Structure 1
């Protein structure tokens, strides 16, 4: 069923992770809600509570956010889970109250799964977006690898079972779409970038941001095992001492203490700074002041932080893994390096730092040009078209 293009929609976004959680999927959910509200739609977000307690609703600038009862897990500092028997009634009552025109789930787990089932039962259009790979779970499963492999296969199967019931399935990159087709047996998956407002990270007319007095590498993201920030720290230690390369680490997470111990062991206390969870303004400034951005993670579906850094005209060094190769033209806007290889990373880091100023600026400009296809406005328009009934074959992205 299609709806007139000028008729506001009531949109229900089901997000298993949402701010104050800090990760790419949570940030996308927030930007999606904010963008759709800005387009005049009545937006509701269903997410778990960040603490213990009963379900409640709160009115926020980006949407009305409904928080479900949840429980912490011992393997993660903030991840929460919802038990089906505690949330199914609340989900049904929310549907009765807000009467959504369309539902947009952000994963096949917990909240997303049961919101989809409720929508299908009521004949409501469902768009499903996947931000997840089973490998993302590995650091939080205290089991041997053979058992994690079994969990991964079950997760793929469950993804196929749930998302096959949606009217449209999307994911941020062609590589992720291919993986979902191969492992979850989903016949049609639309690659659709999470989108970014690239202009938000540019220097504004008349704005001056003083660069560091020393070459600086920036990492931004959750400090988790699969991000391999330890490899980045080792690489900094292996660069020529005379270059005096510094590293700024933006973000928090479960491996921060281990990374701080590593920095002390390598004697890098004066060259590595942990900035913690930064505001949008501070993160933007970090990108602009950096000489290069590095993402050593090996389980990235798209990496919004890399797109943000590229928007600030920053060269990039990215692990040759998952979707990251799509964001690098080797030697043009940066380099790929062999995953978990600190020697290769150190060599390419040194190569970029030693570039003449004009060549370094050209590399940053190439990063900025490559971000253009990831416009947030284009992403929001495509999702709105899908909400209104457009089919896969109608999409040109």
Structure 2
């Protein structure tokens, strides 16, 4: 990563550094601006997807700029993985322990001037919040085509906003109304899965929505030696159930802890949680209360470069979340050759077909039964592993990059109506 010191770089409003094209035939000469409210080092699916999209397009020859909230507060511009990242002034998001939010005052003017300097052919927004809506407005003013991708469900915000359960349906309706109003201004709308597209239609969004998988890097995520991986992370050599992701409310991770005593009646197993979040302390207390504290390991934050080894340490991947529009972590686990046991909720059923089991959310005994079934049979794990690898192969991130390049090209060829 090459960071440009602030005193050496003019403000965003006046200048944006030029990032030369890398010469790939697929997207040579095209300049793309990706606008997102969350970007690494933020840890969430939308941030990871935005980074992979930006770096992937840059590697294929595009000039890519990302505009996002600063992870530290002050404005700065840096070159990360071949992408020019414009980090806007930000403040802590009071309802979230780690995220920051771009300051709305003057943001529209800043984005309009940035667009004027870098001259993108297309603007691709990754959400409808502060940066996303400002980027759509600025692009519309400049007459540029807009692609908008949704990664959001209201369930993802209820815990942090401390919305009481009885008010959540009403608050959700308001949030969806706001989403519909903002994304209706885009030329093309995508979301990771068909189920996610159907959800938007059910919430009153009347525009066509295309399902484009977030995709995964099949060269990085693939089966690796298990013994070495367990030693690498200091894990006991016993049957291992793995979860990777945020340790937050909508992931329903207490179900995994509640199920462990049932599993231990049959298999000498352990659960490994990878990630950070507001529910870790509660999960630790629950494990201690149930007498399984020694069989529940929390590895905390694991750098993205080390994630492939984490998956290889496990025997089965569990995803009890009920607000997954795709679940990148589940796809990475599948590409690593893991069977999957997942909640029958949202888009997860589309990732389970011969490679694992689905269970009714909240049914701890059914979850335990499926986990025991997988962990008890090496032959079953082998067949499910092969099915996971075959399904993961259909989500190669190069296909996703190629489809977005096609969408950008289609929009460039299509005359834009006056708005």
Equivalent position of 1:297 in the other structure: 321
Distance 1:277 1:62, change over 3 A: farther
Partner residue of 1:213 out of 237, 240, 249: 237
Cα–Cα, structure 1 residues 270 and 10, in superposed 2: closer, same or farther, change >3 Å?
same
Contact 1:5/1:388 (<8 A) preserved: no
Separation of aligned partners in 2, 1:185 and 1:126: 17
Long gaps (5+) in structure 1: 392-397
Pick closer, same or farther for the CA change 1:195–1:274 going to 2, 3 Å.
same
Whether 2:97 is the aligned partner of 1:77: answer yes
Which of 55, 58, 62 matches 1:37?
A: 58
Bigger drift between 5-14 and 153-162 goes to 5-14
Answer with 145-154 or 215-224: which moved more.
145-154
Closer, same or farther: CA 62–23 of 1 in aligned 2, 3 Å: farther
* Matched residue SS, 1:58: strand
Question: In structure 2, what is the equivalent of residue 383 of structure 1?
Answer: 404
Match for residue 308 of structure 1 among 318, 332, 337: 332
Contact 2:26/2:61, CA 8 A, preserved across alignment:
no
Q: Relative to 1, partners in 2 of residues 1:215 and 1:98: Cα closer, same or farther, differing over 3 Å?
A: same
Find 1:187's aligned residue among 180, 188, 207. 207
- Cα deviation digits, residues 117-146 of structure 1 (max 9, x gap): 100111111110001112211112223234
**Aligned partners of 2:45 and 2:79: how far apart in 1?**
23
Matched, 1:346 2:331: no
Q: How many angstroms does 1:305 deviate by?
A: 0.4
In 2, Cα distance between equivalents of 1:146 and 1:90: 39
* Aligned match of 1:106: 126
The answer (yes or no) to whether the contact 2:246–2:277 under 8 Å persists in 1 is yes
Q: Report the equivalent of 2:135.
A: 115
Q: CA–CA distance in 2 between the matches of 1:6 and 1:62?
A: 14
C-alpha contact (below 8 Å) 2:125/2:148 kept by paired residues: yes
* Aligned match of 1:61: 81
Distance change (3 Å), C-alpha of 1:6 and 1:335: closer
Q: How many residues are matched?
A: 383
1:314-364: CA deviations, max 9, x gaps? 0000011111011012xx210001112222111111111112x22221111
Q: 2:40 aligns with which of 19, 24, 36?
A: 19
* Alignment root-mean-square deviation, CA: 1.9
Gaps of 5+ in 2: 1-24, 231-235, 413-419
